[in-house]
Chain A
Amino acid sequence: EEQLVQSGAEMKKPGESLTISCKASGYIFSRYWVAWVRQTPEKGLEWMGIVYPADSDTRYSPSFQGQVTISADESISTAYLHWSSLEASDTAIYYCAIHRVVVPPSNKPFYYGLDVWGQGTTVTVSS
């Protein structure tokens, strides 16, 4: 069974750094992109970006470019989301999910969706 297990809740102060993780199991980690999604009551779900574990290629939403760093370690099947300096506005639930691109026989690849999600990591930033 494909599964993503995220690290636990974090409470941090503004200006501190933080890395949260997302460990994959039940599939070949390098095969699919991993997405990070932010959720707040005010804005709902926000797509932050994706990483391709096989070559660490990354793509960021313009809203998050330069604000966070997304990475992956193929050797331990784990993706990461990193902040170098947190702000109160980073308070949210963060999800990782498999950004699945399917390659059917004799057809061109297509994006299938975010079909496996982690349980979410709550990040609270407060002085």
Chain B
Amino acid sequence: SYQLTQPPSVSVSPGQTARITCSGDALPKQYVYWYQQRPGQAPVLIIYKDSERPSGIPERFSGSSSGTTVTLSISGVQAADEADYYCQSADSSGKIYFFGSGTKVTVL
């Protein structure tokens, strides 16, 4: 079945920019959504439609897309940003959704 590929881990120093990629064949035609999940908590939607932020999500979180790869950027990384991040998108039908494998962001 359809797969979205993310790097298992990303490490970043405080104040720097973390970038997490998500790759999939259908991404040129399907939007990507990003979720942050802290340990022991439910995921939280942080980006929708590739680059839009829901109300209450800091501007430090941004999204971009280029072909089959989309990128979540976290600028001015803080200790509180240490979490797992998942991308989500639909297959070519647009009806069935998938999550990426998840990326653990570690703040050094």
Contact = CB atoms under 8 A, between A and B. Distances in A.
B42 interface: yes
Given A44-B101, A45-B86, A61 B1 contact: yes
Chain A contact-residue range equals 20 to 34
Interface stretch (A23-31, A68-76, A80-88, A117-125): A117-125
Contacts of B96: 47, 59-62
Interface of B: 1, 31, 33, 35, 37, 42-45, 48-49, 54, 84, 86, 88, 90, 95-102
A9 interface: no
Interface centre among A61, A114, A118 (most CB of B within 10 A): A114
15 contacts: A37-B99, A44-B100, A45-B35, A47-B96, A47-B99, A60-B96, A63-B1, A95-B43, A97-B42, A110-B49, A111-B31, A114-B43, A114-B45, A115-B45, A117-B43
Contacts of B98: 47, 61
Interface of A: 35, 37, 43-47, 50, 59-63, 95, 97, 110-115, 117-120
Contact of A45 (B43, B49, B95): B43
Nearest to A65: B96
Q: Which 3 A-B pairs have the closest CB atoms?
A: A44-B102, A117-B42, A45-B99
A94 B69 CA distance: 28
A45 B42 contact: no
A16 to B, nearest CB: 26
Given A47-B88, A62-B96, A110-B49, A115 B54 contact: yes
